[in-house]
């Protein structure tokens, strides 16, 4: 983020079309707003979860972040480029067939902004390619700038007159929402009650149907349908992903009252560990064990939380399972959905689910 910001500042100062003086960049009101935007999330998380959130964040961010293998760089670079293109579907398709001439017009009209947008996009692609582990969120800083530039190109290309293409795009995204809603109704009938969310989605779909039928404001219908997919998708994800592991373990430690451990060692997926760490704060501190020598490190701790992959790697006589979490396995989703609300569901979930175990000392050894 710092490097990306530095590139942007250097471009504003040294670009050949319209240089920006340094004293102009040091605009106190703008800097204050930027600081508020940059820091409010961390302040909110501090208030809600205390310092453990920042520890978890730093643990995720600090470390080996630069990829050294050429194939990994190419893979992440292509992934970033692909996601960036997908992010702007269907809008990017409306730039054709006059993309070249429209791009030339927009460049001549404001070359300093066009150059900034292109440099910003290339910079984030390069940085995404060089990371040792690529996350979709790395593209977020560049998305607003490219969205403005793409919108400018679309307006210059008079994309709103392409009624057939706009209607087709609106219907495609609208249909995806309808499929997700029907699936949500099916899950609701089987016992997964999220009717308020479902009702809200249906109201929005009714409004979008009116827009599409009238043929007016089709770009608005596309944008709203696209955004609604993310809400409609939660009709599934709320069932598959929640309650997460931290939410499941928290009651078990609360039942221990003053006997709850102050420190617990953890071996498993680091993102799951972050959820557990935040959920157990402030009473319990979660310590991640190293990947290489975690078996040696665990000897220093009396309490462990282990992913099911590692349970067979420890001495079962030394620990006993006090509590466990279980979440849906992606491979078993079809079977779990089919048996939801039946007696078979629990047995299939137990057999196929992803588990984490809270282990306490075995006093009977």
Q: Extract the tokens encoding 306.
A: 């282990």
168 and 137, same domain (yes or no): no
Give me the pLDDT at residue 63, please: 47
More confident residue, 206 or 30: 206
249 & 330 share domain:
yes
pLDDT at position 50 is 66
Say if residue 253 is in the same domain as residue 322.
Answer: yes
Check whether 57 has a pLDDT greater than 80. Answer: no
Averaged pLDDT, 264-274: 89
Rounded to an integer, the average pLDDT of 28-39 is 86
Q: Indicate the number of domains in the chain.
A: 3
Contact 358, 324 (CB under 8 A): yes
Same domain? 137 vs 90: yes
Which pLDDT score, from 0 to 100, does residue 279 have? 86
Residue 349's domain spans which residues? 245-361
Average pLDDT of the chain to the nearest whole number: 85
Instruction: Round to whole Å and give the CA distance between 66 and 133.
Output: 8
246 — pLDDT class (breaks 50, 70, 90): confident
Residues 120 and 180 both lie in one domain: no
Residues 116-128: pLDDT tens digits? 988 888 888 888 8
Give the pLDDT score at 52. 61
This prediction's pTM: 0.73
More confident residue, 141 or 178: 178
Give the span between the Cα atoms of 66 and 120, in whole angstroms: 19
Rounded CA gap, 219 and 20, in Å? 35
Last residue in a domain, options 213, 240, 267: 240
Higher pLDDT, 61 or 142: 142
Q: Cβ contacts of residue 194 below 8 Å, gap of 6+?
A: 184, 187, 188, 235, 238
When mean pLDDT is compared across 126-135, 156-165, 216-225, 340-349, the lowest value belongs to: 126-135
In this predicted model, what pLDDT tens digit does every residue of 278-311 receive, in sequence order? 888 778 888 888 888 898 888 889 999 999 988 8
Q: Which of 159, 185, 208 is the last residue of a domain?
A: 159
Please check whether residue 30 lies inside any domain of the structure: no
Q: Please say if the pLDDT value at position 68 is more than 60.
A: no
pLDDT, residue 64, reads 46
Question: What is the maximum span of the chain, computed from C-alpha positions, in angstroms?
Answer: 80
Average pLDDT over residues 312-328: 87
Minimal CA–CA distance to 136: which of 93, 76, 191? Answer: 76
pLDDT computed for residue 205 by the predictor: 96
């Amino acid at each position: 983020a710092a490097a990306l910001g530095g590139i942007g500042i250097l471009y504003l100062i040294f670009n050949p079309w319209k240089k920006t003086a340094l004293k102009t960049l040091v605009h106190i009101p703008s800097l204050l707003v930027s600081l508020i935007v940059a820091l409010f999330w961390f302040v909110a998380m501090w208030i809600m979860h205390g310092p453990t959130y920042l520890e978890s964040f730093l643990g995720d961010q600090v470390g080996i972040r630069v990829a050294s293998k050429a194939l990994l760089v190419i893979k992440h670079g292509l992934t970033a480029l692909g996601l960036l293109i997908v992010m702007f579907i269907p809008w990017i398709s409306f730039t054709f067939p006059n993309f070249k001439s429209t791009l030339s017009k927009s460049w001549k009209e404001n070359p300093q902004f066009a150059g900034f947008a292109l440099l910003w996009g290339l910079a984030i692609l390069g940085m995404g390619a060089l990371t040792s582990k690529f996350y979709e969120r790395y593209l977020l800083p560049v998305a607003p700038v490219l969205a403005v530039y793409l919108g400018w190109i679309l307006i210059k290309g008079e994309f709103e007159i392409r009624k057939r293409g706009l209607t087709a795009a609106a219907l495609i995204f609208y249909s995806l929402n309808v499929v997700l809603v029907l699936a949500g109704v099916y899950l609701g009938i089987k016992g997964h009650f999220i009717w308020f969310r479902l009702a809200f989605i249906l109201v929005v779909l009714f409004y979008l149907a009116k827009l599409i039928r009238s043929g007016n404001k089709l770009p608005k219908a596309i944008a709203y349908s696209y955004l609604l997919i993310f809400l409609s998708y939660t009709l599934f994800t709320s069932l598959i992903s929640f309650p997460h592991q931290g939410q499941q373990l928290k009651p078990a430690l609360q039942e221990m009252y003053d006997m709850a451990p102050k420190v617990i060692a953890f071996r498993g997926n680091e993102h799951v560990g972050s959820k557990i760490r935040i959920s157990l704060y402030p009473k319990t501190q979660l310590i991640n064990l190293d990947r290489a020598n975690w078996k040696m490190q665990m000897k220093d701790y009396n309490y462990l939380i282990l992913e099911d992959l590692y349970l067979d790697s420890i001495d079962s006589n030394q620990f006993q399972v006090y509590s466990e979490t279980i979440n849906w396995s992606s491979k078993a989703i079809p079977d779990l959905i089919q048996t939801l609300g039946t007696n078979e569901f629990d047995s299939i979930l137990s057999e196929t689910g992803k588990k984490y175990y809270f282990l306490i000392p075995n006093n009977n050894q």
